[in-house]
Structure 1
Amino acid sequence: MFHCGTVPPWRRYSRLTMVGRQKTLMIRALLVAAAWFVIMPGRPGSRQAPDPLAARTKGRPDAPVTVYEMSDFQCPYCREFALGTMPLLEREYVQTGKVRFVYINLPLSSVHKNAATAAEVGLCAARQERFWPMHDLLFRRQDQWAALASPRAYLLALGDSAGLDRARLASCVASGATAADVRADAERARRSGATSTPTFYIEGALLEGAAPVTVFRAVLDSIYRTKTATPPPRPR
């Protein structure tokens, strides 16, 4: 059963002790690297194809820490994270080159009937390099489109405010050009172990729910220190 997180679920799982801190955080460690290998970009300078997720990524490609956010545009707790917590993390971690954020669609269509349509519109916006403006508007206007019997016209109009070419957006949405990408996102998220939104895959572990910014800071600071620590000198 998939659900939109309503409680602080990071308290329910096995402990991951944060390096250099007295407190511990409750997150579920998973060996799911294989599930994510197919979407993770190559190292800088590699000859692999360009990162297909680049248009919905924030941060430097070589940032030491990568966070995959698995989210549903119709989920109120995803909105809480996107509009409240994410701007703080962007300023403190993304803009400073420490963290790269990648958005992965996990529309919970069984409870959010318009989530998949919104996800398709978001990926159509990504094809015009306007994913993040559309992302923000989808969450800000969530109450307006979430209850509509047919949200497509409203979402297309929302694209105007995001700076999108209306004709290109309408053509992309009408053709279903991004529907397969949304389904592929959701399948990746499920293989990672995500059962609710928002869920964050962070360097081999899952953090579930719209956790307070203090939780994200503790997790990201610990992982960043570990990944950037100078290795001890080899014994002579």
Structure 2
Amino acid sequence: MPRAWRLPTWMRSAAYLVFGACLGVGGTFGLQQWQNAGEESPVVQTPNKQNRQPRTLVMDLLLQGDPVLGKPSAPITIVEFSDYQCPYCRRFQQQVFPKLKREFIDEGLVRLIHKDLPLPFHQQAETSAAVARCAEQQDAFWPVHQALYDQQSCLECRGPIAIAVAAGLNGDELDRCLRQPAILEAVRSNRSESTLHDISATPTFVIGPTIGRDRHRGQIVEGALPWPQFKSLIEQQLKKASLDAKR
């Protein structure tokens, strides 16, 4: 009887290393999942996060230069760390963000700040983040941000630059912007900041009272929660901010 075919030892070892790296990064890619397909299902954290208790930042996040949506005077600020190739970031953007914008941001109750956390095993994530940052120079960050998530499955085949140009960016201006070292430096600075604060999953949100234009701290929420849970967290923070304001 012929022997069963097996991968060479070095190939098996390499596969284990790659799999281990994906687990160790702590990103929700391929690991974080909803219990059911419905919107009401809660998110399940990655294995290395299961026993982690809710926590609050002990140091401020620095917000200067990061894309912002909403009024500076909003009582609550939410900082989102996300990756353009993360499927759960896309789920948040498509299922939760429209309701968040309509019910809280447009009403002046929430200010949303975007920070980049491109995971190392997503080949187009860092370039996508740089493209979105360049879109801000053409006053088009949020439309391009949305387009990159809407066409996430095309990031590998078309590329983020083509997606951004199709969304309305000037290609020549985009090309010039992408040559600026400061663009990638901003993306990598966000990633370094996430490491400093022990934030490694995508998406991760820091939700808390607005304490200033350029700094923030608050409760850390990991994962793409369904809207009822996410809304409840915001309402709790709004209630707390209102009570604090009366003291």
Q: Report TM bin, short chain.
A: 0.7 to 0.9
Deviation at 1:193, TM superposition (A): 2.1
Counterparts of 1:113-124 in structure 2 under 5 Å? 113-124=123-134
- Find the aligned partners of 1:207 and 1:73 in 2 and give their Cα distance: 18
When normalised by structure 1's length, the TM-score is 0.78
Residue from 204, 215, 226 that aligns with 1:212: 226
1:169 CA displacement? 0.3
| Percent identical residues | 31
Displacement of 1:174: 3.5
- Asked if residue 99 in structure 1 is aligned to residue 110 in structure 2, the reply is yes
What CA distance in whole angstroms lies between the structure 1 residues aligned with 2:238 and 2:134?
33
2:146 corresponding residue in structure 1: 136
- Letter in structure 2 aligned against 1:220: I
CA distance in 2, matches of 1:197, 1:132: 19
* Distance in 2 separating the partners of 1:184 and 1:163: 27
Following superposition, the deviation at residue 128 of structure 1 comes to 1.4
Instruction: Check whether the contact 2:165–2:171 (CA below 8 A) recurs between aligned residues.
Output: yes
CA distance in 1, matches of 2:204, 2:74: 20
- The TM-score with structure 2 as length reference comes to 0.74
TM superposition shift of 1:195: 1.5
- Larger C-alpha radius of gyration, 1 or 2? 2
Structure 1, unpaired ranges of 5+? 15-27, 40-50
- Residues 80-229 of structure 1: pairs in structure 2 closer than 5 A: 80-109=91-120, 111-145=121-155, 147-148=156-157, 154-203=159-208, 204-229=218-243
Say whether the 8 Å CA contact 1:65–1:99 is kept in structure 2. yes
Whether 1:29 and 2:17 are equivalent positions in the alignment is: no
Q: Which residue of 2 aligns with 1:76?
A: 87
Aligned residues: CA RMSD: 1.9
- The alpha-carbon distance between structure 1 residues 228 and 70, as it changes in their structure 2 partners (threshold 3 A), is same
> In the TM superposition, what is the alpha-carbon distance from 1:70 to its structure 2 partner?
0.2
Q: Is the 8 A contact 1:71 1:106 kept in 2?
A: yes
* Counterpart amino acid of residue 200 in structure 1: F
Structure 2 vs 1, CA of residues 180 and 206 (structure 1 numbering), >3 Å: closer, same or farther? Answer: same
Q: Distance in 1 between matches of 2:136 and 2:44?
A: 31
- Aligned with 2:179: secondary structure? helix
User: Could you report, residue by residue, the CA deviation over 1:90-131 in whole angstroms, capped at 9, with x for unpaired residues?
Assistant: 11110111111111000002x211111111111011111111
**Structure 1 letter corresponding to 2:103:** E
Separation in 2 of the partners of 1:66 and 1:91?
15
Count how many residue pairs are aligned between Structure 1 and Structure 2: 198
Q: Is the CA contact (8 Å cut-off) linking 2:82 and 2:204 kept in structure 1?
A: yes
Whole-angstrom distance in 1 between the partners of 2:170 and 2:150: 20
Tell me which residue corresponds to 2:27.
Answer: 4
Which residue in 2 is equivalent to 1:21?
Answer: none
Match in the other structure for 1:52: 65
Structure 2: give runs of 5+ residues left out of the alignment.
1-23, 34-42, 209-217
Contact 2:124 2:160 in 1 (8 A): no
1:62 aligns with 2:73: yes
* 1:188-212 alpha-carbon deviations (Å, 9 max, x no partner): 1222221210000112211000111
